Amino acid sequence: MNIAVVEDSRREAEELIRFLEQFGKKHGCDLRISYYMNGEDFLASLGKNDYTAVFLDIFLGKMSGMEAAGRLWEYNPQCQIIFLTSSREHIRQAFQVHCFDYIDKKDFTCERIFEVMEDLRRKLPSLNRYLEFVSGNRSVRLPMNKIQHVLSDNNYTVFVMEDGKEYRYRIPFGNILELMEPAENFLNCNRGVLLNMNDIVKEEADVYVMKSGQRFPIRRLDRALIKDRYHQYQFAKLEEM
């Protein structure tokens, strides 16, 4: 996820970046963070960077955050804006330009930043096109629609792609489950098993059969709920056709 921080207070910017880095480390997200002290430098960077989100101070000096937001949307209307403000009087103004969220600097905490980042991760469809995480010192980016199934292997997670290729990374399966939760087409059918429902060709009494021919058991404890979720997904696909 490509993020810009536009804040004329270096101390506050460094604190925000530290919180963002902590979020990325905790959730295995690959966050690329750029910092700018004014709106002019930020806008000049738009030709080189395609930002997913920008944390934008409303008070920036010559160019206000509101003006920078307007110029940003002319260039990239998909970028999500989170305004930073020390005055609650400007909250209504922030929402008038349809920002994603705002952060009152009086509530500038790690918990608040994590809350905003969770909302971004869950609510932006574009973020679900790729699975991004960090394994060791390596940044990983996998296309979600190419993943057929995901398997737990102790402290590692194995990704099997639709072409049969396998990728094994040192990251707990639980972290991957959390990252992939916003993607509606993945089903946790058993412990340590996550299936792309688009690649399921048959549901048997206690097994899912994949396009590749592999068979995965359906957890007995909540089997009815798992099957119901799969059926609802298939019905939703039919309604879209």
Q: Contact at 8 Å (CB) between 168 and 154?
A: no
In this structure, are strands 156-161 and 147-153 parallel, antiparallel, or unpaired? antiparallel
Residues 29-51 have pLDDT tens digits of 778 899 999 989 999 998 787 88
Please determine, for residue 171, whether its predicted confidence score (pLDDT) is greater than 90. yes
Domain residue limits, the chain: 2-127, 143-240
Q: Give pLDDT, residue 90.
A: 56
CA distance 16 to 20: 6
What is the pTM for the complete model shown?
A: 0.57
Q: Does domain 2-127 have CATH number 3.40.50.2300?
A: yes
Across the chain, mean pLDDT equals: 87
Task: Collect all residues with Cβ–Cβ distance below 8 Å to 209 and sequence separation of at least 6.
Answer: 200, 201, 202, 203, 215
Residues 115-131 have pLDDT tens digits of 999 888 776 655 557 88
Superfamily of domain 143-240: LytTr DNA-binding domain (2.40.50.1020)
- Cα atoms in the Cβ-side hemisphere of radius 13 Å centred on 58: 21
What are the CA-CA distances from residue 101 to residues 5, 42, 65, 84, 224 (Å)? 14, 19, 14, 9, 38
Please determine, for residue 141, whether its predicted confidence score (pLDDT) is greater than 90. no
- Other Cβ atoms within 10 Å of 115 Cβ, number: 14
Q: Where are the beta strands (DSSP E) in 52-192?
A: 53-57, 80-85, 101-104, 130-135, 138-143, 147-153, 156-161, 166-169, 186-190
3-state per-residue secondary structure call for 127-159: HHCEEEEEECCEEEEEEHHHEEEEEEECCEEEE
Position 18 confidence tier, pLDDT thresholds 50, 70, 90: very high
Residues 60-112 have pLDDT tens digits of 878 888 888 888 877 877 788 999 987 665 555 555 556 788 888 888 899 99
Please determine, for residue 5, whether its predicted confidence score (pLDDT) is greater than 90. yes
CA distance 100 to 180: 21
CA-wise closest residue to 53 among 80, 78, 84: 80
Q: Give pLDDT, residue 241.
A: 44
Q: Give pLDDT, residue 122.
A: 73
Distance from the first to the final alpha carbon of the chain: 31
